[in-house]
Amino acid sequence: MISINNLTKYFGETAAVSDICLEIPRGQIIGILGPNGAGKTTTLRMLTGYITPTSGSVVVNGIDASTNFIEVKRHIGYLPESSPIYTDMLVYDYLKFIANIRDIPNSDIFKKFLELSDLCGIREVMHKSVSTLSKGYKQRVGLALALMGDPDILILDEPTSGLDPNQIAEIRSIIKEIGKKKTIIFSTHILSEAEATCDRVVIMNKGQLVADGTAEILKADKSGKKTTLITLEYTDPITVKTIFAKLKGISKIEMAETTDTLKIKLSTSDDMRVDIYNLIKKQDWILLEMIQESESLEHIFKELTKEA
């Protein structure tokens, strides 16, 4: 549905976005993650036609944006960072204003407002001035405005930035609801948000795409590293370390002891629970607990964007 081909943007000598290629099918919720200055906003701005690429192309539903941007814009709803909406209007008037700009016939406006106010949860603030709304409600109004033309693609630049945890949860659930019918591309700094909301996560660093996949695939792909946490009834740590060090596949051993227990953290390249269990059994150590953890998305993000 959206093809991004070798998309590149230079600001003077700075390569804000370098040679990005992405295929985004219809109906996917895709989160773009990256540290400050990674090129997320610049990428979203090129997708929405707000700025033109230095090179490369964006093709939306078969329409090349470089030759027919007006047509492409009909397919896209865009909510820029920190919802730049006019604050001196009533919410209702604002929606009406945008509905007129979007050429929605007067006969359809009431139905449209009902639908959007329900979806975005703004019915109770329709007759309030935008200036009096909380940040969360301003963001909901921004979403309703972006959805006015019934676009099949919604692009959101850090939609939860600056919101409190309750507001974040509300916006997230609205995004998930909208995502049942539309393609959504949004940028975020919040890893848990990408993990909880997106079908697919793209990580950018220094203008480049450094990872692309579901959160699960990214976690599994990243060298497949695992951490196994073991608790033994107290056993001599030096003996334990020496014996574990002989087990092939363990790259790191960390330990912490209390008077009753010995906690061991093993970094392994694969799932080694069976080997570890057999070794513990052979040594006749008392196993109190064994848990295997995969790499967290946070760890992967840090690894991939280390120098940033």
In the complex, the residues that contact ligand ATP under the rule CB under 6 A are 11, 14, 16, 34, 36-42
Closest residue by Cα to residue 275 from 248, 293, 235: 248
Which 8-state DSSP code applies to residue 296?
P
Compute the least distance from the CB of residue 229 to ligand ATP, in Å: 34
Compute the least distance from the CB of residue 210 to ligand ATP, in Å: 13
Residues 263-298 as b/e (b if ≥16 CB within 10 A, e otherwise) read bbebebeeebbebbeebbeeeebeeeebeeebbebe
Compute the least distance from the CB of residue 99 to ligand ATP, in Å: 30
What are the angstrom distances between the C-alpha of 288 and each of 258, 268, 278?
Answer: 14, 20, 14
Provide the token pair at 23: 């295929």
Compute the least distance from the CB of residue 15 to ligand ATP, in Å: 8
Compute the least distance from the CB of residue 84 to ligand ATP, in Å: 14
Nearer to ligand ATP, 39 or 179 (CB): 39
Closest residue by Cα to residue 63 from 53, 54, 73, 55: 73
Nearer to ligand ATP, 10 or 92 (CB): 10
Query: Residue 171, SS3?
Result: helix
CB 218 within 8 A of CB 297: yes
Nearer to ligand ATP, 34 or 77 (CB): 34
Alpha helices in the chain (DSSP H): 40-48, 69-73, 91-101, 106-120, 135-147, 165-178, 191-197, 215-221, 237-245, 273-283, 297-304
Compute the least distance from the CB of residue 188 to ligand ATP, in Å: 9
Nearer to ligand ATP, 36 or 106 (CB): 36
Alpha carbons within 13 A on the beta-carbon side of 118: 5
Nearer to ligand ATP, 40 or 112 (CB): 40
Return the number of other C-beta atoms located less than 10 Å from residue 127's C-beta.
9
Compute the least distance from the CB of residue 71 to ligand ATP, in Å: 25
